[in-house]
Structure 1
Amino acid sequence: MAPGQKLLFTFFLCSSSFLLTGKGVEVVEGSSRHHHQHHHHVKHNGVDTKKLFVFGDSYADTGNNRISNGDSWKLPYGITFPGKPSGRFSDGRVFTDFLARYLGLKSPVAYKFRRFGGKHLKYGMNFAFGGTGVFDTTAPYPNMTTQIDFFERLLNESVFTPFDLETSIAHVSLVGNDYSAYLSRGGSVQGLQTFIPQVVNELVVDIKRIYKLGVKKISVTALQPLGCLPRSTIQNSFQRCNDTFNQAVIFHNTLLQQAVTNLNNNHTHGSPIVIIDLYNAFLSVIQQNATNQQGSSKFANPMRPCCRGISPAYYCGNVDQNGNNMYTVCQHPNNYFFWDDSHPTQAGWEALTTALQPNLDSLQR
């Protein structure tokens, strides 16, 4: 999610009359079980060709967003890894890094740094840009269609070959910026019931386009429980998720599950599109840690962020006109699930990756 939209979400969350008609169907079931990782690499003329191509937003961005506030390029972002700001919306690694590691790859280079040379392209490319969605969110953020345009341009320039794509994986991250942008432009809370299907439909268009360009395995995120993010739980001292907001997420995820099932049955010829079930993974980690006895939990208060503004007017990383920090940051980010008001810490992403193991295993089949 883009920084600076907290008031919009507060407005949404306070509208208790909103209740979508989704039946609460869970997406792919999350799990906290440990599984062995299997890296099936394909070699062509002795060269490993598996690559990872990433599209989406701040949950996947590893350095493309140097616009807007640029908070991800300011301290304290990156203090855990790589020890300085690197454009990741976390204290350290984000999901892209853990997904690449699971696939036996190094994290693909951010599109912004594509001119670094051929050896930096061997693991694929990351087009994700913090703050974006399938539609335009905040100019000049490149929406997902534009990100795929960048990808297609590189294909037309033969930067990546058709064989590269056939043996590779695309990851598509969508975590809610379209909805905050919709509200910021005067959209009504009630109108979201009509807007959510539009977002999912456009997401399906993007997935089908990536597939037609030649990538035969695609993972796509289900929405995380937005009502459990610190920006949603701050009003009750980070103790309780907002169920009303999570109903909207369930509606989105139910439509996404239906669409992906249809794609897998009718369009992808046995090459699966896999849902990365952030919804149940987040709930699994939060509930597991919230119910543990004090002192035995890795994340003592899983909904309290490590880094937060000193008032609602400020965000993690903000400074005043004199350069004074207008935020507080914890001493040990690895003891916190959330880094700021909407993004997990590196430790949080590591726990989520464990919970997502069944989904990741499906990518290897």
Structure 2
Amino acid sequence: MSNIKVYTNLYILITIIIYSSISYTSKAQRRNEYVNNSIPAMYVLGDSLVDVGNNNYLRLSLDKADFSHNGIDFPTGPTGRFSNGKNTADFIAEKLGLPSPPAYLSLSDPNINKTILTGVSFASGGAGILNGTYSTLRQAISLSKQVDYYTNVYKILIQELGSDATQQHLSKSLFIIVIRSNDLKRYFYDSGISKTITPQAYVDSMISSINEILKQLYGLSARKFILAGVPVVGCTPKERIQNEKLTCHEELNFWVIKYNNGLKSSLEMFKSEFNDTNYSYFDTYSALADFIQNPDKYGFTEAQSACCGLGKLRANVACLPISEYCPNRDDHVFWDLYHPTQKTVSMFIDMFYNASQYVTSTNISQLVSL
């Protein structure tokens, strides 16, 4: 019996050694695979312009796009994207040869370790730079909470790859931040805020907050950043119908420009303080303004009205299943009240990726090679 026990224990020991070796080799292979890629992953933070479905999992959120006519041109139909098709996150991922980052809240425990190696999106429709921005929509993932979620991912990556490999992996990855419009809209439509703080002080607080977010991400190994400025929000269909002449909301646009200029200055200072970082900034304001002012130049026939909605400029009622939608989405700059069509976004990303008059610091293709 003693010999049988010896052989049994020896068998168990050998099995454990073999299994551990296989497991270690597998992790080592994954570590090498993802660390050696030029851009191994993209991690996305933001609002509805890059939300790929996180809000679908927020029970109280009124800001969702998981129904038609959203996704009418997306391969699988409505997904939670505020678009007729793909959004900014999708097109950047395509340029990088990466899968579109999944919504963080959609990930289940058995799959999360592998999935996050190529990226994930924390973006949430209705979110803003400031924590209170989403309150009127009852629920959204604030930017600070999105960073908390990324911190969870960071810890998982360390467990999966090890500390050194995680730092290498993340230093090569792209961190995309597209969040800004909701804060400024809130200022002009929430009298409780506008009565207690000047617009300049409010814009300054936005810039200060985004700078702190960048520092937090830097402390968690982020080194390559992509940021987009606030677009010409005052010329969106929803803002136009606020006046009889359907003209742009110029005061809103004025403070959008103020914020964008402040953000660019802040990014320059951030780069000088943390000189091992690199960033690419896209002047969405000027690009969209050009689309609106010169639609024929870009192949559009409609630059004021939304494609999907009801009422004046199809902007009195949002894009809902009961709404009308245009038969040719590529004719329109805007998909709904505020969001651009898939074609508009695709053209933006082409500009952003390659050398463009609308890019500050480096374009995306240059950022990839750094």
TM-score range for the pair, normalised by the shorter chain length: 0.7 to 0.9
The structure 2 residue matched to 1:279, chosen from 276, 280, 285, is 285
Are 1:221 and 1:278, in contact at CA under 8 Å, matched by a contact in 2? Answer: yes
Count of aligned pairs: 310
Are 1:285 and 1:351, in contact at CA under 8 Å, matched by a contact in 2? Answer: no
1: CA distance between counterparts of 2:119 and 2:310?
36
The alignment partner of 1:54 has SS state of strand
1: CA distance between counterparts of 2:160 and 2:151?
10
- Corresponding position of 1:178: 183
* Residue 87 (structure 2) pairs with residue 112 (structure 1): no
The one-character-per-residue Cα deviations of 1:10-35 (angstroms, maximum 9, x if unpaired) are: xxxxxxxxxxxxxxxxxxxxxxxxxx
- Mapping of residues 154-303 of structure 1, within 5 Å: 154-157=153-156, 158=159, 161-182=166-187, 183-184=189-190, 186-188=192-194, 191-234=198-241, 240-267=247-274, 269-289=275-295, 292=297, 298-303=299-304
The structure 2 residue matched to 1:85, chosen from 47, 56, 78, is 78
The one-character-per-residue Cα deviations of 1:316-359 (angstroms, maximum 9, x if unpaired) are: 11x6xxxxx1x211111122111001001111111212232333
- Corresponding position of 2:26: none
Alpha carbons of structure 1 residues 313 and 236: separation in structure 2 relative to 1, 3 Å: closer
* Residue 47 (structure 2) pairs with residue 57 (structure 1): yes
Are 2:184 and 2:252, in contact at CA under 8 Å, matched by a contact in 1? Answer: no
Deviates more, 1:73-82 or 1:233-242: 233-242
Alpha carbons of structure 1 residues 362 and 283: separation in structure 2 relative to 1, 3 Å: farther
Are 1:336 and 1:345, in contact at CA under 8 Å, matched by a contact in 2? Answer: yes
- Corresponding position of 1:127: 122
Alpha carbons of structure 1 residues 282 and 238: separation in structure 2 relative to 1, 3 Å: farther
Q: Deviation at 1:277?
A: 1.8
Q: Deviation at 1:362?
A: 3.9
- Corresponding position of 2:32: 45
The alignment partner of 1:73 has SS state of coil
Are 1:100 and 1:107, in contact at CA under 8 Å, matched by a contact in 2? Answer: yes
**RMSD (CA atoms):** 2.4
Percent identical pairs in the alignment equals 27
Are 1:285 and 1:355, in contact at CA under 8 Å, matched by a contact in 2? Answer: no
2: CA distance between counterparts of 1:122 and 1:334?
34
Deviates more, 1:175-184 or 1:275-284: 175-184
Are 2:63 and 2:126, in contact at CA under 8 Å, matched by a contact in 1? Answer: no
What is the letter of the counterpart of residue 303 of structure 2?
P
Q: Deviation at 1:159?
A: 5.3
What is the letter of the counterpart of residue 316 of structure 1?
C
Alpha carbons of structure 1 residues 301 and 210: separation in structure 2 relative to 1, 3 Å: same
What is the letter of the counterpart of residue 103 of structure 2?
A
- Corresponding position of 2:342: 346
2: CA distance between counterparts of 1:344 and 1:96?
13
The one-character-per-residue Cα deviations of 1:40-99 (angstroms, maximum 9, x if unpaired) are: xxx963445410000010111111012423541111000100242101000110001111
What is the letter of the counterpart of residue 267 of structure 2?
V
- Comparing both structures, which one devotes a greater share of its residues to helix? 2
Alpha carbons of structure 1 residues 236 and 302: separation in structure 2 relative to 1, 3 Å: farther
Alpha carbons of structure 1 residues 243 and 185: separation in structure 2 relative to 1, 3 Å: closer
Alpha carbons of structure 1 residues 343 and 237: separation in structure 2 relative to 1, 3 Å: farther
Which gives a bigger RCO, structure 1 or 2 (Cα 8 Å, sep 6+)?
1
Are 1:310 and 1:328, in contact at CA under 8 Å, matched by a contact in 2? Answer: no
- Consecutive unaligned residues of structure 1, counting only runs of 5 or more, are 1-42, 320-324
TM-score, with length taken from structure 2 = 0.77
Alpha carbons of structure 1 residues 270 and 164: separation in structure 2 relative to 1, 3 Å: closer
Q: Deviation at 1:119?
A: 4.2
Alpha carbons of structure 1 residues 210 and 315: separation in structure 2 relative to 1, 3 Å: same
1: CA distance between counterparts of 2:79 and 2:190?
28
- Consecutive unaligned residues of structure 2, counting only runs of 5 or more, are 1-29, 356-362
TM-score, with length taken from structure 1 = 0.78
What is the letter of the counterpart of residue 150 of structure 1?
Y
